[in-house]
Amino acid sequence: MQEFAALANSLADKAGEIVKKYYRASLDIERKENDSPVTKADKEIEQALREMINKTRPDDGILGEEYGFQGSKSGLTWVIDPIDGTESFMIGRPTFGTLIALCDDITPKLGIIDQAIIKERWIGIKGEQTTLNGQEIKTRACKSIYDAIIGSTTPYMFSKLTDYGRAYEIFEKTGNHIVWGGDCYMYGLLSSGHLDVAFEEDLKPHDFAALIPIVKGAGGHISDWRGDELTLNSVGKVIAVGDPELWPEIDRIIRKSPY
């Protein structure tokens, strides 16, 4: 695993170099069909990282946000989101991140969240304690939903009224103690013990794969909304809970929701 961690760190270093070149610079913004902004930085990072992986481990698969899927011969697949939180990146707010995951078949075993501007890197490896900049971290205790601080990225990510209904019931239970604008960075903060719940929808595998070993290795629960393990085949309904003992209470709220 150390060999993979070394490569993952090199990939994150390279991504950070490119991020710094474009951060708060003028960018020609394209719009994808789904209207999310794509930046030159996004593409340049993914191209550079694909080249590095293909050179070092040509038999590994690659799944990236920008350039799709390259099949795996080794059984291992790298999953890359060059810039998660593109909106934050575009407005010059340093709470976006580069996400890198390594999956064994469809299951993430290693994940990195890298925030290159304020130099914060979370690394999660299956079976090891998660670290932030090399220091071991863990999630915090939270015994009741009423005490929880919950994070999400935008209310608009809940695509159907039924899904927003479920989200809303959870938000309401916390006294609407909710922080918006989360992106990947909030899963790092949850893993570091500063946030209790992250609740999101409409995430793609490149958005959540890296988060799984990070949250789990810090002692937290992360799954889909039904409590099932997240894999590259999951639909993007993601919940992370810092204190796993809080999960059954949230599970009950979701199951009892009339929506």
Point out which residues bind a second copy (CB under 8 A).
24, 35, 37, 87-88, 90-95, 117-118, 149, 151, 153-156, 175-182, 185-186, 189, 192, 194-195
Which run of H or of E encompasses 186? Answer: helix 183-191
Q: What is the largest CA-CA distance in the chain?
A: 52
User: How near is the Cβ of 229 to a second copy at its closest, in Å?
Assistant: 26
**Closer Cβ to a second copy, 109 or 121, answer by number:** 121
Strand partners of residue 69: 63
* Three-state secondary-structure class, residue 188: helix
Least distance (Å) between residue 86 CB and a second copy: 10
- Please report how close the Cβ of residue 68 comes to a second copy at its closest, in angstroms: 25
Q: How many CB atoms lie within 10 A of CB 78?
A: 27
Please state the closest distance from residue 161 (CB atom) to a second copy, in A: 15
Q: Which is nearer to a second copy, 148 or 209 (CB)?
A: 148
**CB crowding 170-189: b at 16 or more within 10 Å, else e:** bbebbeeebeebbbbbbbbb
CB of 140 to a second copy, least distance (A): 8
Q: CB nearer to a second copy: give 77 or 192.
A: 192
- In the complex with a second copy, the residue whose CB is nearer, 40 or 177, is 177
Backbone phi and psi for residue 209, each to the nearest 5 degrees, phi listed first: -55, -45
CA-CA distance, 126 to 190, in Å (whole number)?
A: 18
Question: Closest separation between CB of residue 203 and a second copy, Å?
Answer: 16
CA–CA separation, 201 vs 235, rounded Å?
9
Q: 97 by DSSP, 3-state: which? A: strand
Of 127 and 156, nearer to a second copy (C-beta) is 156
Q: Going by C-beta distance under 8 Å and a sequence separation of 6 or more, which residues neighbour residue 211?
A: 99, 111, 113, 184, 187, 222, 238, 240
Residue 146 or 259 having the CB closest to a second copy: 146
